């Protein structure tokens, strides 16, 4: 079993709507999935914004670890102490 890491999270709109982010959001986890699960425990309304009923991320949700896409591993993508997760909307054709 790997070590649990302290990770900072940057939620982009619309995920941060209604959340007081005066202080950086910090979570613990070994991978993206564990970090997002911690966020959903704190902010249950985010579950339907982030996850489909199958438990997978919605297709429009993009997660970056230190500005690098977590695709194709997505939820299984490993994290380490000090990493920054950015959760945003995928905009095709930007």
pLDDT digits (tens, 9 = 90+) for 33-85: 999 999 999 999 999 999 999 999 999 999 999 999 999 999 999 999 999 99
CA angle, 32 as apex, 26 and 36 as ends, to 5°?
Answer: 60
Does the pLDDT at position 92 exceed 80?
no
Sequence-separated (6 or more) residues with CB below 8 Å from residue 7 = 26, 27, 28, 29, 35, 79, 81, 82, 83, 84, 85
Q: Is residue 15 part of a domain?
A: yes
Q: Is residue 94 part of a domain?
A: no
Domain of residue 55, residue span: 5-89
The pLDDT score that the predictor gives to residue 84 is 96
Domain count, the chain: 1
Distances (CA, A) of 79 to 5, 20, 38, 69: 7, 24, 14, 12
Closest CA to 28 of 49, 8, 2: 8
The whole-model pTM stands at: 0.89
């Amino acid at each position: 079993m790997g070590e649990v890491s302290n990770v900072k999270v940057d939620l982009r709109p619309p995920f941060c709507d209604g959340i007081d982010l005066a202080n950086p959001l910090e979570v613990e986890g070994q991978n993206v999935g564990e970090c997002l699960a911690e966020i959903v425990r704190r902010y249950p309304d985010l579950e339907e914004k982030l996850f489909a009923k199958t438990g997978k991320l919605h297709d429009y949700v993009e997660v970056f670890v230190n500005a690098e896409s977590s695709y194709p591993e997505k939820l299984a993508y490993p994290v380490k102490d000090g990493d920054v997760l950015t959760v945003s909307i995928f905009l095709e054709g930007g």
